[in-house]
Structure 1
């Protein structure tokens, strides 16, 4: 009887883990699609409406990062996963900067991956971890303040993965990443336009505010259909899509 109960519990845990992986894969696909729509504006500048669905991409990537950190792992596996995750982010941050600058003319920030790397270290520091990792989180926060003007999404972007991690641990805090997403997308002119009743600006702010609760709902209610998994090759999509869109823009003339 006890063996049957244990087997049933193990089976349920495996099922829940599989459902969570499916939800994460769906979030990854949606984040990639949103990112591509957003960056298509650099090929067709007149299609400014693409900026609205594009506001989902960064919050979804931050939620994926937080969900991976929230997994229960033995300490050695958790630490090696953190190092590996950080290594991939930093490596592709370097590889992506030149393609990013080819597509985005006169950028005011570096590409988004340094923001995610600092966000990873800070989010890791808000969960139970050894003192050296806590110190790394404080260093990441200090760097975020110092480099705020050069980081895509600024200090708010670095705080967002930690906000999502807290929301995953305490569902009643689901409002927190929504507020931080607005902070990460703060642009004075946009808020002024929204206050003046401009529908486009209001749609952008609404998308920013709804991105976090939408992502959390997708993660907590996995789809009832299979989703193709995304492996580490997806990191290469970031620099490659910049090159492809730059080539498309040059071809269109």
Structure 2
């Protein structure tokens, strides 16, 4: 992700480059980690509600930095994508009033048009959550289909680099399951680093502008 952002926003690398391809790994990896966390045993609906609110706040905080780095508010940052995906996970896990859940699905469908990776990215989070929540062949197939849809989405911008960069998440996720490494819990690290690196890109662009 950082290689992609610095390479394209600061150094002017194009879409059909290895830099773009390297950046395509980030979102499916984030979606996988988030969805698996949401699907852990316990009150999944309450967890999804809490994390969706946290992501909404992070999205709002990161938006000025994202606009500064990219030059225009063409798309809401990745926190928005993950937040909307988490909202769909709440719909799937909650026993709340059906009408409210239908309304939320409609709002997510509209908002998903304006975030990074679009509705494809939003739906990938929900599909992986459903797979880990239900552990059935049908849900596994749905998650695979959504990953392929995201691969097609990225390929439409970055060609073969988009394809390879997206699908690398599969062997990486498989390899991680065989590595026993205890990592310290730093839940707020990503929330801080993401807007900080965008602000740095914006500042460097401003400092080097003619």
2:85 corresponds in structure 1 to 119
2:32 corresponds in structure 1 to 63
Kept in 2: contact 1:70–1:165 (CA 8 A): yes
Give the structure, 1 or 2, with the largest relative contact order (CA under 8 Å, sep 6 or more): 2
What count of residue pairs does the alignment treat as equivalent?
A: 204
Q: Structure 1 residues 242 and 153 mapped into 2: Cα distance closer, same or farther (>3 Å)?
A: same
Tell whether 2:166 aligns with 1:208: yes
Kept in 1: contact 2:20–2:161 (CA 8 A): no
- Distance in 2 separating the partners of 1:136 and 1:237: 34
Q: Structure 1 residues 118 and 138 mapped into 2: Cα distance closer, same or farther (>3 Å)?
A: farther
Kept in 2: contact 1:112–1:152 (CA 8 A): yes
Q: What's the RMSD between the two structures over aligned residues?
A: 2.8
1:5 corresponds in structure 2 to none
Q: Structure 1 residues 95 and 44 mapped into 2: Cα distance closer, same or farther (>3 Å)?
A: same
Structure whose alpha-carbon radius of gyration is higher: 1
Cα distance, 1:126 vs structure 2: 2.5
Superposed counterparts of 1:177-196, under 5 Å: 177-184=143-150, 186-187=152-153, 190-191=155-156
Cα distance, 1:114 vs structure 2: 2.0
Normalised by the length of structure 1, the TM-score is: 0.68
Tell whether 2:189 aligns with 1:236: no
- Distance in 2 separating the partners of 1:49 and 1:150: 26
Normalised by the length of structure 2, the TM-score is: 0.81
- Distance in 2 separating the partners of 1:229 and 1:209: 27
Cα distance, 1:186 vs structure 2: 4.7
- Distance in 1 separating the partners of 2:78 and 2:201: 17
Cα distance, 1:131 vs structure 2: 2.6
- State the Cα deviation string for residues 192-219 of structure 1 (Å, max 9, x = none): x8xxxxxx612311322343x3454256
Cα distance, 1:52 vs structure 2: 0.5
Q: Structure 1 residues 136 and 236 mapped into 2: Cα distance closer, same or farther (>3 Å)?
A: farther
Structure 1's unaligned 5+ residue stretches are 1-34, 194-199
